[in-house]
Amino acid sequence: MTTNAQTDVGFHAKQHGRWHWSEFAFWIVVLAVGLAFPSRYLIMTEILRLALFAMSLDLILGYAGIVSLGHAAFFGVGAYCAGLLSVHGIINEPVLALIVGGLAAMVLGFATSFLVIRGVDLTRLMVTLGIALLMEALAERFSNITGGTDGLQGIDIQPIFGVFAFDMFGRTGFFYSLAVLFVLFLLARTIVHSPFGLSLRAIKNNPLRAAAVGIPVNKRLIAIYTVAAFYAGIAGALFTQTTALASLDVFSFERSADLVLMLVIGGSGYLYGGLIGAAVFRMLQELFQWITPQYWMFWIGLVLVVIVLVGRHRIHAYALWLPNLILKQIAGRKAAVALTDNEAP
């Protein structure tokens, strides 16, 4: 029995980080869609940006179980940081500015993580929300630096590596965003499949038990919160670089709330959830705005209410029904099971 169980554990550890063929297919499809609709670069870039942002929240909510209503704080810091670096011509290399934006958000994430690990869910909600509002208030008050309600003026992003200039069709922006998203996805994938990532899941499932088996709960939560802040900062900097905009609404509550919605649509606790959720959310938004330009918020709200009432897991079970059926036909039962295994419990 013992040997059997041990080999079983070893088998799972090896299996855990291995690429499933459907993942290759996913990224090939993303690239193919990008190449197929050159007239839609702008909205596709937006989806990639949102996907990165959603992945960031997934790291803390889906993997570590930290509820946050203020993730826009880090997004905004990254956005303003990249914008300011460009306006004042401090760092002209976009990739470098991107990383600095992410690091700035990371510093804030590390500083505020100590507040977030205290207390229950409700306290966390309030403290994260409060931090985002604080940042918004600061950005508004120090208008001589941030431009106040008008936003930053004169953001001009230089060509990437001095070669690829940002064009008006958003072509460069799209491939730049895709590259950034893919690199950070690989990093996130490594993190969540590492022993560190597995210990996070243990903490999410039962913090008390995790502490009892010797996992340093608070240290792990601080670490992942800091990493997630870095990701959100990169998403914000990417926003500024691809749109040449940075204004107060990067900190808005709606931005944080929409983000939670994306994650709920796509499913939290597996990395593709955020990516898929961001795409579905943005397309839904586009659809609703097309139907009722002024009142689309109503329909977004209705979607949220229905999702919660029907139950998030049941929705995903429905959504996975067709892919599962197809996979069963192509690759037999194993692949289908693998797809559902990735889903959040």
Partner 1 sequence: MTAILTNLFDGVAYGMLLFVLACGLAVTLGLMNFVNLAHGAFAMAGGYVCAVLVNRMGWPFFAALPLAFVASAVIGAALERTLYQHLYARSHLDQVLFSIGLVFMSVAAVDYVMGSSRIFIKLPDVLQGQFDIFGVGVGRYRLMIIAICGLLTVGLQLVLSRTRFGSRLRAAVDDPRAASGLGINVPQVFAFTFAFGCGLAGLGGALSAEILGLDPYFPLKFMIYFLIVVTVGGSSSITGPFLASLLLGIGDVAGKYYVPKLGPFVIYTIMIVILIWRPNGLFGRTATR
Q: Does 284 bind partner 1 (CB under 8 A)?
A: no
Binding-site member from 9, 29, 137, 283 for partner 1 (CB under 8 A): 137
Q: From the CB of residue 283, how many other CB atoms can be counted at a distance below 10 Å? A: 12
Q: Does 260 bind partner 1 (CB under 8 A)?
A: yes
Record the tokens describing residue 74, joined without a space: 């880090």
Return the bridge partners of 160, or none.
164
Q: Does 296 bind partner 1 (CB under 8 A)?
A: yes
Q: Measured between alpha carbons, how far is 277 from 316 in angstroms, rounded to an integer?
A: 11
Strand segments, DSSP code E, in 74-201 are none
In angstroms, the Cα distances linking 192 to 59, 135, 159, 202 are: 8, 29, 33, 12
Q: Closer to partner 1 by CB, 232 or 265: give it.
A: 265
Binding-site member from 25, 297, 325, 326 for partner 1 (CB under 8 A): 297
Q: Smallest distance, Å, CB 71 to partner 1? A: 13
Q: Is 244 left (phi over 0), alpha (psi -120 to 50) or beta?
A: left
Stretch that binds partner 1, among 31-39, 171-179, 201-209, 288-296 (CB under 8 A): 288-296
Binding-site member from 10, 16, 121, 333 for partner 1 (CB under 8 A): 121
Return the bridge partners of 278, or none.
none
Q: Which of residues 21-80 bind partner 1 (CB under 8 A)?
A: 61, 67, 69
Q: Closer to partner 1 by CB, 307 or 335: give it.
A: 307
Stretch that binds partner 1, among 45-53, 203-211, 218-226, 307-315 (CB under 8 A): 307-315
Q: Closer to partner 1 by CB, 5 or 120: give it.
A: 120
Distance of CA 256 to the CA centre of its chain: 11
Q: Does 259 bind partner 1 (CB under 8 A)?
A: no
Stretch that binds partner 1, among 101-109, 148-156, 233-241, 294-302 (CB under 8 A): 294-302
Q: Measured between alpha carbons, how far is 224 from 216 in angstroms, rounded to an integer?
A: 13
Q: Does 294 bind partner 1 (CB under 8 A)?
A: yes
Q: Is 154 left (phi over 0), alpha (psi -120 to 50) or beta?
A: left
Binding-site member from 51, 57, 105, 264 for partner 1 (CB under 8 A): 264
Angle, to 10 degrees, between the axis of helix 94-116 and the axis of helix 72-87? 150
Between the two ends of the chain, the Cα-to-Cα distance in Å is 27
Helices (H) and strands (E) in the chain, counts: 16, 0
Q: Closer to partner 1 by CB, 191 or 307: give it.
A: 307
Q: Smallest distance, Å, CB 312 to partner 1? A: 8
Stretch that binds partner 1, among 4-12, 72-80, 137-145, 199-207 (CB under 8 A): 137-145
Q: Does 287 bind partner 1 (CB under 8 A)?
A: no
Binding-site member from 120, 163, 322, 330 for partner 1 (CB under 8 A): 120
CB 80 within 8 A of CB 139: yes
DSSP-based three-state secondary structure for 164: strand
Catalog residues that contact partner 1 under the rule CB under 8 A: 61, 67, 69, 115, 118-123, 125-127, 129-131, 133-134, 137-138, 140-141, 253-254, 257, 260-261, 264, 294-305, 307-309, 312
